[in-house]
Structure 1
Amino acid sequence: MGRGRVQLKRIENEINRQVTFSKRRSGLLKKAHEISVLCDADVAVIIFSTKGKLYEYSTDSRCLLLVLDILCLMMRE
């Protein structure tokens, strides 16, 4: 039997929110690595924490630079 649906709402407790962020960030980066290996795809993931810290993963530095360039262009608009 599958899991029930998780209700999405902001986690008010800051410590619990940070723990959840860390766990989900790790899971997301793991999934990005898996899809890059299984599908031989270029993948870039950029994550900003609520405190503005940058976390990134890319299979190719050119891929990450391209994503960062696009992000900079979007922020200028």
Structure 2
Amino acid sequence: MAGGMQTHTIFALDCYRQLMGEELSGLNVNELQNLENQLEMSLKGVHSRKDQILIDKIQDLNRKVYYNNLATKGNLIHHENVELYKKVYETREMNGGNRNSLLTSSLSFGEDLHVPVHLQLRQPQQQNYEMPARATKLG
């Protein structure tokens, strides 16, 4: 049993050396052709694996660029939204409006602009229509 294991180890080392291009002098043309075919198949496997790793990395980078672009667009939209709120606030302030009806009191323009904005709808104010002092009689 030990002799079989030793023979197998020697054979494996010889094959390894031949794959590394060493000890080729004892091989005939057919053995060299078989060795070359074996190396070409191994090389194709290496190329295939390398190509797959590169494809995966490219896809990952494309995903990162896509999500980065989305985040950038989101930040631009948020900035534009804040600028529009500023304009509306300035217009309301000039017209005597209440700042808190537009923006929450916790949002100030010098601080973090990622604070959520809460808008509320109000019921329309009732108008008091007075009846004229002299009502017209019908009939």
Q: TM-score, normalised by structure 2?
A: 0.24
Identify, as 1 or 2, the structure richer in helix: 2
Q: TM-score, normalised by structure 1?
A: 0.40
Identify, as 1 or 2, the structure richer in strand: 1
